[in-house]
Every structure is written in C-alpha cells, then in structure tokens.
Structure 1
Amino acid sequence: MSGYMMRGFLQKVPKSELHVHLRGAMPVDTFARLIHKYADIGIWEQEPAAKKSLYYRKFSNLKSVMNGKTRTYEDLSSFFQYKGFEHFIATFSLTGYYFREIDDFRLLIRGVIDYLIGQSVIYAEITISINEYIRQGIPIEAIRDCLDEAAEDNRIRVQWIIDFVRDYGSEHALLLLHKIKALNFKSVVGITLGGREYSRPAREFTRVYQTAREYGMHLSIHAGEACGPESVWEALRFLDVDRIGHGVRAVEDPALVEYLAEHNIPLEICPTSNIRTGIIQSYQKHPIKKLLEAGVLVTINTDDPTFFETTLMNEYIICTHQMGLSPEQLYEVMQNGFTCAFLPLDDKRKYLNYLEQKWNQSVPDFDSIVRKDGE
C-alpha cells in the first residue's frame, strides 16, 4: 500500500496518543499569530544578556525570531531545524515566551486538539509543563480551568500528564504537586519528568513519585533517551513507574528488555523524535521492531510533532515503510495505545472493541499494507 493509500486507511482507524507535549504539538500558524501579536513589545529586552548571547551564538534558527523579523508562517520555514537535543531544547524553550495571557494558552489548546482530531485520535494523554506558563504570569487556576474545559470536549477524550521537568529539581516538583492536588485538577491523570535527562537522577524524585501515587496519579518518566539503559533501571527501582517515556535505549541491555517484557512495562516510543534529536541514527536502525519481537509493550507517539515536522499518521507510515513493521505489528501497537493508557479497564475494552471494528472494516486484507512503494 502506498503512503497516500495508507494515509487514507489510517484516517479511518481510531488512534490514541500517550506521549505528546502540548506546546510540542502547537500548530505553526498558532505560533505565527503569537509572534505577530507580541512583535513590538520587546520580549527579549528583559532577558539576561548571557542567555541572549548564547542563543545568538549557538542557534542560528532562533535569531530571526529574537530580532522580531519572523512574523508569518512562511518566515518560520527554517525555525524548526536543529541539530541535537540541546538545540531542540533551546528552540522549544524560546516558544514559551510567547504565551503571556490566558487567551494565548486557550488558543494553544484549541489548536492542538483540532490537530489531534484531524489525526483520528479519539483518546489523548497530553503532557504539559505548567511552570512554563505560570512564570509568564498566567494564573495556575486559569490553567486548571482551561485543562478541565478541554477534557469536556465531546469530539475527543483528553487527559493531562504533568511534566515537572527534571531541571527544576524535586523541591519544585513536590510543591507544584501539592498545589495541583489542592486546586483539584480534575482532568490530570498522571505525572512525568521531561527536560534534560542527565540533569538530575531519577532517585532524587522518589518522594515526589510516592506522593503522586498516594494522590491516585499514574506515573511515567522520560528515560532511556539521552541517557542509556541505566536511566531506565533507576526509574524502575526508585520510582516504580507505570510507563517509560521513550525508553529506546533499553535495547542496549538485554536484561532490561527481558524485564520490561516480563513485567509489562510499556514504552512510549516516538520514532521521528529519536531521529531528529540524534538519539537514533536512522529509521532503519531504530529498535522498535526488535523491542516488539522481544515482547515489550510498545506504543507509537509523536512527542513534539510540530518541532519534528511529523504527525501521528506519518509515524505509522514510517513504521511500516521504513522500520519494517508488519500489519499484525501495526495493529498490535495500536491496541497497545489503548491497553497502556491511564484509563479504567472498562474504558480500555470499549476503545479496543471500537478499534477492532474499524480496523476490520478498513482493511479486509492485512497483507496489502506491507507494500513499500513509497509515498
């Protein structure tokens, strides 16, 4: 099946997204609107000279935005181009300065949900780093209301994962966790740790994760991405997580792969993200197929689709055409996307039954998918 034909098939099949960052899925036209809105207020005038100098010196794609010369969708054509994880983090961080009012935040959520619906996603767990918006002056109560409002959208079911960001440390994470609990964020279902994986060890956040578990939250963590399998082991031993965000470097340790399979610890794998951040050299060298064949619960996600110039449907096409997944494996990872969700068992069954129905209606012959004749 060609990429064009497969895209048509994927449009008909209901999907989940378990690892997608809110601002990472920001539509480009949303960012263009915000750049235009704040072009003349001197956002960068208040930033430390050292930080501005670092951005200018190291990351050429950020210059035009910081200079106020980027104001349109077309101007952003080279913005989402970077080399390596640090460059990506700097680009991602810069965009946060343009969310300064609750209306900006609401615009972001609306755009991301519309994008997900366009990908035929019927269930999403969206990761959000709340502190990035609080520090821009948006009240946490207003953020809560927007998140809960989005969760009531009858076109898609949305739940939220709070990213405490490793770089900020465990004390910050614990304070924010207590505040989220006190303010009754109804649609928050779990927590994770993003940011620079090597900045702080997972064990530093043991108390945070224990408290979140006591609060009834589910637990995930970004591990086995920038750092090796030892990062995954530490998360499992000290934090007792339910899922691992990324986790692709677990493949470097056969004992860890065996443990993940035996204990049904899911991996939230984001193929194009791994390529664009330099974690994996190419799609052909990506370990997703090897992990699947070893019995690991693998899910397919996008991480930051706008920043990595991909979509969820594109990830499935890549998995089939470039990474060698069979039709049966494609269906398996789609099932995993609901099986591994932070949902009650009855809800999982409902989604799995719906997926089976739509899959069987759309693909009478599974073998037709595996023809790799390009897009």
Structure 2
Amino acid sequence: AYGPESIAQAIHRCGAHRIGHGTRLRENGDLLNYVNDHRIPLEVCPSSNIQTKAAESWETHPIDFYMEYGLRITVNTDNRLITDTTVSKELWLCHKTYGWSLDTIKEILIAGFKSAFIPQREKADLLKHIVAELDQVNAPTNGKLVREPVKPDASQAGGKAFDPEAERASEPSTEIIR
C-alpha cells in the first residue's frame, strides 16, 4: 500500500479503469471525490488486506466507509487459497462486521457486473438478468441472509444461517507450513 499517490498515478498516468484494494484512498479527499465522481470501481479484498497489513483489522478497514461514501466497490478474494476465503465468506464477514443488509450486498454484486471488462451490450444484458435474479432473493428469505443446507433435512427447511467459522472448524486444515 504505497498510498493515494500510487492510485492517482494509476488513474492519471496509466489510464486505470479500476483500482485494486484502494485501502489508502481515503487519505486524499480530492482523489476520493475524483474516484467517486468518475465511478472508478475499487476491487476491495478485506481479508487479504488484513493479512498483508494494508489494514489493521476488520474494524479499521475502509470498506464500510467507502460503501457509505457512495464509492463503487466490489468485494473480492485477491489470493483465495492463501487467504483461505471465498467471495461468499468475504460478504458474510462484511455483513457480520458492518451490519450490511442484503440490499447492500446486492448493490455490491451489481457493482461488480457494472465494472466488468466486457462489451457494454453484454454487460447491459447480464445486468438485466442479474437484477432479476437478485430481486428474487428477498422473497423466500424475507431479506435474511441464509444459506441452504448442503444435505436437505426436514428439520432445516428454509436454510440455516451461514457461519464461516463453524464451517471452517469442520473443514480439514489448510494451514500453510511456514
């Protein structure tokens, strides 16, 4: 994390259309407003940012500030195998840490499609389908974040809350030997 000057350089000298991480963007208000005004997406990878010390903790990570400020952000994994995460886990942790609603998560998912490097016509068609799919998510869950059980069981009809820590405890260890 070299600071906001590296973000400015990527945008103004290199013509970047997206910014990876952006954890230090908030240090420069003018650049923050420029990124917001030009709808330049930030590809934010919270767990990776914490692991690499670009952010100290979930509580001090700027992602929630960026969301509240109105920036176009996407939630990503960066190094999925090393960080031992998925986009679903990252979104769940944002929900648990910041109280993000299902509507906020939908907004982030849509931002990802809006930010895709694909032709505009394909993007518009994809967005129509994605928005229609996401609109159906609220119906069966009443807006609650749930995950369907892997093995359907009558006692768990309607799904159960997704808890990545409980899931991680039941998985074999993937710890990297240092």
Bin the TM-score by the shorter chain.
0.7 to 0.9
Q: Displacement, 1:341? A: 0.5
Which residue of structure 1 aligns with residue 117 of structure 2? 342
Instruction: For CA contacts below 8 A with separation 6 or more, give which structure has more relative contact order.
Output: 1
Q: Displacement, 1:352? A: 1.4
**Structure 1 outlier segments of 4+, above 4 Å:** none
- Percent identical across equivalent pairs? 35
Quote the Cα distance in structure 2 between the aligned partners of 1:356 and 1:235. 31
Deviations 1:265-304 (A, max 9, x none): 1111111110111111111211112112222110111111
- Which runs of 5 or more residues in structure 2 are unaligned? 147-160, 164-178
Counterpart selection for 2:8 from 214, 233, 236: 233
Counterpart selection for 1:304 from 67, 79, 97: 79
Counterpart selection for 2:21 from 218, 243, 246: 246
Three-state SS of the structure 2 residue aligned to 1:255 is: helix
Which residue of structure 2 aligns with residue 164 of structure 1? none
Deviations 1:93-120 (A, max 9, x none): xxxxxxxxxxxxxxxxxxxxxxxxxxxx
Deviations 1:218-270 (A, max 9, x none): xxxxxxxx211111112122112111111121012222211100111111111
Quote the Cα distance in structure 2 between the aligned partners of 1:309 and 1:231. 28
- Which runs of 5 or more residues in structure 1 are unaligned? 1-225
Three-state SS of the structure 2 residue aligned to 1:285 is: coil
Which residue of structure 1 aligns with residue 69 of structure 2? 294
Which residue of structure 2 aligns with residue 256 of structure 1? 31
Q: Displacement, 1:374? A: 7.4
Per the normalisation by structure 2, the TM-score is 0.76
Greater strand percent: which structure?
1
How many residues of Structure 1 are paired with residues of Structure 2 in the alignment? 148
Q: Is the 8 A contact 2:137 2:143 kept in 1?
A: no
Cα RMSD, aligned residues only: 1.9
Q: Displacement, 1:366? A: 5.8
Q: Is the 8 A contact 1:328 1:366 kept in 2?
A: no
- Greater Rg by CA: 1
Which residue of structure 2 aligns with residue 315 of structure 1? 90
Q: Is the 8 A contact 1:300 1:316 kept in 2?
A: yes
Shift in CA distance, 320/262, structure 1 to aligned 2, threshold 3 Å = same
Counterpart selection for 1:330 from 102, 105, 110: 105
Q: Is the 8 A contact 1:286 1:323 kept in 2?
A: no
